[in-house]
Structure 1
Amino acid sequence: MQWPGRRPNLWPGVDTEELAAGLEVGGRTLDPGQRSAVMQLTAAHDRGVYLFGGVGRGKTWMADACFAAAPGPKRRVHMHSFLAEINAAVAARAEPAADAIARLIGEARLLFIDEFHVHDVGDAILIRRLLDVLLRARIGLVVTSNYAPEDLLPNPLFHHHMLPAIEQIRAHLAVVEVVPGTDYRVAGSADGGFAAGAWTAGRCDDGWGGDVVVLGSRTVPVRAADAGRGVLSGTFAQLCEAPLSAADYVALASRYTRWELTDVPAPGEIDEQGFQRFAYLVDVLVDAQHRLDVTADLPFEEWTTRGGMPRDAERFLSRLSLLRT
């Protein structure tokens, strides 16, 4: 798309007070840190906004409201789901990643990526290509993340792969922090979706037999898979210790809306990859608002204080705390 004359702001901004009033319905009140972020988020920016901050600070809530008020063709995606879409498109059509990205964005002139975080080198390389496409095509970008740009892909062995993307973010997006404050995810409550699930201490012995689910050319053993009821049940070993990716969880979440994860061991018995897959699984189910019921060796309060927690522990535990105990 060619812009005639002076190029307009790709994030045109919206009325701050009108948006704040819309957010503060039903007795909700923006705290000072949130109000400051809203003022910056609603301002006009040439390329877009990178909104980051701690867990439960309302980043998605505020960005969703701004995004909904913005004019023009647009698309909202979740990080895991969108990367899975790109990888699937590349594999299915044998086309370059840049072409797949442009085709998936389509006519949208504004893209909102929720839960932007990177721990995988392959994802870092794909994100660099994504940013290249967006910048060339003059597509606006809104991002929410728990990380400042410099903290993406924190593993020092691989962090250099993310540096070009970090430089692009800093050079072209307004980086806005929601300053630390109340974790409203913990302070609040919910009665549906992911939060309808529960964390129960004990071992699961309900007589369910073995089953399998199909992922492409692979079969993955699980305790039970009932497509009619939308229920998937698997042990921690089956769903978090097997070589499954975030894209695999996205694919399964499109088929199963109620999940049961059983036999979750104590944190000290879980390796780094198992924790990472557990975090991916929780991310995908929270985004899809699918129920998760967990049966673990320990009560939740004791499980969270045993030590040996993974990276992203604060964010991960905040999401798990939505479950009834």
Structure 2
Amino acid sequence: MKGNIQSDPHQVVALKELERLRKNLMQHKPPQFTKATPSTPPSINNTSSWWGFGALSTEVFTLKNPFHGVYLHGGVGCGKTFCMNLFYDSIDNNCSWSKQKVHFHKFMLRVHQEMHAARGKGNADAIMPTVVNSVAARGALICLDEFQVTDVADALILQRLFTGLWDKGCVLVATSNRPPQDLYLNGLQRARFLPFIDLLREECNVVSMDESETDYRLVQKLESGSIPVYFTNEASEKKAFDKLFYDLVGSSAVAPTQLETCGRKIVVPQATLKRGICRFDFTDLCKKALGAADYLVIGQSFDTVFVENIPTLTLNEINWIRRFIIFVDAMYESNVKLILQGAKPAQELVQVDKSDTGTSHDEIFAFDRTVSRLMEMSSASYLKRKWKSHTSDNPAAMLSQARATVCVQPSLGDSKERRQ
């Protein structure tokens, strides 16, 4: 590791703030959580009931933190996640605080799932207290990577959720590409989200790394060299894309496959479970109504994913851009090897004039991070990472723990390829 870490003035500022928080955590005992008890609610409308926003008694949350969390924001590759990881690893057995670290997409996916489960029990006013308790139980120190809000449902949930978590004494450390005041910018019903921004700035010390001009993912790529993992529409490159797929597949049979998660079916046009490889057209992944749950189960089921025919994208295809960003995040979280073929190089896929404030969208800014992430994913060091299936090597155990089932259609010449 010698020589791999160098001094960076912007990271030093962030690390000093994180060290302040670490010392505070070492000096203060973690909060003692008690069971939330919803009060008898007044008459509330259907929307409030559906979200579980009924009134709560003052006895539910009684403990406030005597110190602030940390919110780091800055450009792509400036080292925000690196700093947060150093801080997270420093909270060891000498500190009595429980901790959790999770990507924001995965965090919100779990929140939605727990809200759905709590809603099924029939008491609307117990939904949010139940979810707050569940999140807090996983760790009073909550580290969220790549905090961003692009969904109206998430925006409406966040204030209620984090009010409960902060009142319980939880501490937030977050990284983001955007300062708090720019979160969910131009989003639907943003006025209802603004109180959360005020809470966030009250509960967390905000550290800007925006002045950093270094993208360490690019540095890593240049220093370590890269393996071709992105191909354009040129005939020779499309042929190379196909060749790489069949070289990796080898003699294994390729067949259409179905994954299931949360009652939804995801069609995988080409796959070999034996080699852990699958292949999609961009239409299958991003032009259809897929979300984080679907992409995560793909990342947990295959260690290598090919995607072809990625078109040039504009604001007219904002939903496709949003899904592509979430898809890349999900693949990155599972250390999936991602092989892409598109109309243009990755940095030119989205054609938007960012100086036009009338067309400002979170997804457009977030795509810069996606491009940087794709460059990192092409580096030799990333490609050497172990795939995060979160399971044993047994395919049945893998699918069970991923809460998915795989149904492979019969393929001529290789009956061993079938899995149920």
Distance 1:220 1:135, change over 3 A: same
Residue 80 in structure 1 maps to residue 105 in structure 2: yes
- Is the partner of 1:188 in helix, strand or coil? helix
Structure 1 counterpart of 2:367: 313
The alignment of Structure 1 onto Structure 2 pairs a total of residues equal to 299
Amino acid at match of 1:75: Q
Distance 1:170 1:104, change over 3 A: closer
Greater CA radius of gyration, 1 or 2?
2
Distance 1:247 1:128, change over 3 A: farther
Amino acid at match of 2:336: H
Structure 2 counterpart of 1:249: 295
- Is the partner of 1:43 in helix, strand or coil? helix
Residue 67 in structure 1 maps to residue 88 in structure 2: yes
Give the RMSD, CA atoms, in angstroms.
Answer: 2.9
Residue 172 in structure 1 maps to residue 206 in structure 2: no
Q: How do 1:15-30 residues align onto structure 2 when only pairs under 5 Å count?
A: 25-30=2-7
Residue 53 in structure 1 maps to residue 74 in structure 2: yes
Distance 1:25 1:174, change over 3 A: farther
Distance 1:89 1:43, change over 3 A: same
- Is the partner of 1:81 in helix, strand or coil? helix
- Is the partner of 2:258 in helix, strand or coil? strand
Residue 186 in structure 1 maps to residue 214 in structure 2: no
Q: How do 1:157-168 residues align onto structure 2 when only pairs under 5 Å count?
A: 157-168=188-199
- Is the partner of 2:157 in helix, strand or coil? helix
- Is the partner of 2:15 in helix, strand or coil? helix
Does the CA contact (< 8 Å) of 1:98 and 1:129 recur in 2?
no
User: Which of these residues, 136, 140, 161, is aligned with residue 167 of structure 2?
Assistant: 136
Q: How do 1:1-325 residues align onto structure 2 when only pairs under 5 Å count?
A: 25-44=2-21, 46-70=67-91, 71=95, 72-93=97-118, 94=120, 96-106=127-137, 108-181=139-212, 182-189=214-221, 198-202=229-233, 203=238, 210-268=256-314, 271-300=317-346, 303-304=348-349, 307=352, 311=364, 312-324=366-378
- Is the partner of 2:7 in helix, strand or coil? coil
Distance 1:269 1:144, change over 3 A: closer
Alignment gaps of 5+ in structure 1: 1-23
Question: How big is each residue's C-alpha offset from its partner over 1:195-249, in whole Å with a ceiling of 9 and x where there is no partner?
Answer: 8771112457679664433233332333224444333321100001110112322
Q: Which moved more, 1:49-58 or 1:290-299?
A: 290-299
Alignment gaps of 5+ in structure 2: 25-66, 122-126, 247-253, 355-362, 380-420
* Identity among equivalent pairs (%): 27
Distance 1:163 1:259, change over 3 A: same
State the TM-score, normalized to the length of structure 1: 0.81
Higher relative contact order (CA 8 A, sep 6+): 1
Shift of 1:264: 0.9
In 1, distance between residues paired with 2:187 and 2:315? 25
Distance 1:133 1:227, change over 3 A: farther
In 2, distance between residues paired with 1:161 and 1:198? 42
Distance 1:300 1:137, change over 3 A: closer
Amino acid at match of 1:64: N
Distance 1:157 1:306, change over 3 A: closer
State the TM-score, normalized to the length of structure 2: 0.64
Amino acid at match of 1:220: I
In 2, distance between residues paired with 1:233 and 1:308? 32
Shift of 1:272: 0.6
Question: How big is each residue's C-alpha offset from its partner over 1:22-81, in whole Å with a ceiling of 9 and x where there is no partner?
Answer: xx9534212112112212221136031111111101001111111221222111111111
Shift of 1:91: 2.3
- Is the partner of 2:376 in helix, strand or coil? coil
